[in-house]
Amino acid sequence: MSRAARIVWTRWATGLSAVLLLELACRTGLVPKLAVLPPSEMITAMIALLQTDEVLGNVAQTFSTVALAFAAAVAAGFTFGTLLHGLPRARRAIDPLLASYYSVPIFVFYPLLVALFGLNILPLVAIGFLAAAPAMLIATLLGLDRVPHVLLRVARMHRLGWGRTAILVILPAALPNLFQGIKLSLAYAFIGVIAGEFILSSGGLGYSIAFAYESFDNRTMYGLMLFVLLSAVLSNALLSSWEGRLQRRRGRA
């Protein structure tokens, strides 16, 4: 077995044994059953929940909110990142702001956003956007910084126009960073939306989990929680594998 395969197998084995250990700890009463549901019951609860219209509606609401926030964040982050890259003085002025942005617990702004937009989907999109857009902006700046000057000179030598230089030279060279930004944006948008729903909202998965917790409905709570965690991990894994494929293709070319 190759080393890479051994690593993947060990990863699966570690994950599975962690789940098994939790199952054992719950079954033997080491972890109080009132506090944590055994994983097997979480899975059955999740499957049962996903067949009800109410839960599917909440899933649709949360996912569409995340999608909106994510799309807006990537578009705005990329656009402003590109603009800022062309304006060194503005960039230098904004740099300290970017460096300390993620040190501010942005969820403290969520109540303000609710007051501004009302208790609907807008403050959730806004908090997801605020969580995600700077990551895309920073990644765009780093990516554009990384474009080797020699490539730009080659492009000029071949008399490529502005648009073709951007698409054929700059974009591929900046791609690894851009991809990192896209991945982080999706994760942060998801975290932002779920946290917003959790703190204050009238619907969605985060709200349902908080509601189930408050009404001591552990089966619903753990079923939904498992679903949220699996969605986050799966979407991240999908993007990572796509990224890996792109990188391998670049390596071959």
The residue ranges that bind another protein (CB under 8 A) are 6-7, 10-11, 14-15, 31, 34-36, 89, 92-94, 96-97, 99-100, 102-105, 107-109, 111-112, 114-116, 183, 187, 190-191, 194-195, 198-200, 206, 209-210, 213, 221, 224-225, 228-229, 232-233, 236-237, 240
- Please, which residue, 29 or 96, has the CB nearer to another protein? 96
The DSSP 8-state label assigned to residue 118 in this structure reads -
In 3D space, the residue among 66, 74, 76, 77 whose CA is nearest the CA of residue 196 turns out to be 66
**Cβ at position 36, least distance to another protein in Å:** 6
Taking the complex as a whole, the smallest distance from the CB of residue 246 to another protein amounts, in Å, to 17
Closer to another protein at the Cβ: 66 or 178? Answer: 66
Q: Name the nearest CA neighbour of 189 among 79, 66, 102.
A: 66
CB of 84 closer than 8 Å to CB of 141: yes
End-to-end CA distance of the chain: 28
Q: CB of 25: closest distance to another protein in angstroms? A: 12
Judged by DSSP in three states, 10 sits in helix
Of residues 35 and 150, the one with the C-beta less far from another protein: 35
Neighbours of 187 (CB within 10 A): 18
- State in angstroms the smallest separation of the CB of 169 from another protein: 30
